[in-house]
Structure 1
């Protein structure tokens, strides 16, 4: 079997996560994170949409990691993002990290807003 290394180009893969932190593109970040096609930001939670909306032309879907378990994303967040043309997929943070990396490796236009586990 031939194994091909994934080339993420300028995008930032999620290397790992743990109690209160994420390792993204080799760097450790503490607290909630927003991972966009060309940058990693601290995320202020469900009301913090400015950076996401500023990148609406670069992402089709935003994975929202709701922590250790799946939880509902506030309708206000979903409404704002969908009005900007961004699809919203909510899931527990572990699943959001895995799904983000798989779709990133396929070259999809995605982002992730993640609450820590």
Structure 2
């Protein structure tokens, strides 16, 4: 299912309190599966692996208001190197991308969010 800004979502970015067992706890909510966290909200995402990040996800991230400047990709438990083609497509939108496993990505998201940075994150669950 493609990402849709009109779909049910959390209409603001929030700190992620915990992760694991295939999901995330944020605010008063719990979600199982991947998340796309942006400057204007948090959406559930049908992204099974970082390799599934395509043009539709890039357009969704690039459409954030205010615009995302730094995108974190939390790749689950295995490290993942961002392909140069993806890095270039994001750079064309003024977005710097960094990949790391989900744990460090969650901690970095939280830290940059508290600093009021224009950060986004695609977070794959840890099982």
Query: Which piece of structure 1 moves more, 102-111 or 67-76?
Result: 67-76
Q: What is residue 96 of structure 1 aligned with on the other side? A: 105
1:53 and 2:62 correspond: yes
Q: What is residue 37 of structure 1 aligned with on the other side? A: 39
Return the TM-score normalized by structure 1: 0.82
1:32 Cα deviation from its structure 2 partner: 1.1
1:64 Cα deviation from its structure 2 partner: 0.5
1:50 Cα deviation from its structure 2 partner: 2.8
Take 1:44 and 1:78, find their aligned partners in 2: how far apart are those partners?
21
Q: 1:76 aligns with which of 75, 85, 89?
A: 85
Compute the RMSD of aligned alpha carbons.
Answer: 1.7
The answer to whether the 8 A contact 2:16-2:25 is kept is: yes
SS class of match (1:49) = helix
The structure with the largest alpha-carbon Rg is: 1
The answer to whether the 8 A contact 1:12-1:38 is kept is: no
Unaligned runs of 5+ in 2: 1-11, 48-52
SS class of match (2:14) = coil
1:106 and 2:108 correspond: no
Unaligned runs of 5+ in 1: 1-9
Take 1:37 and 1:24, find their aligned partners in 2: how far apart are those partners?
15
1:57 Cα deviation from its structure 2 partner: 4.6
1:27 and 2:29 correspond: yes
Take 2:115 and 2:122, find their aligned partners in 1: how far apart are those partners?
19
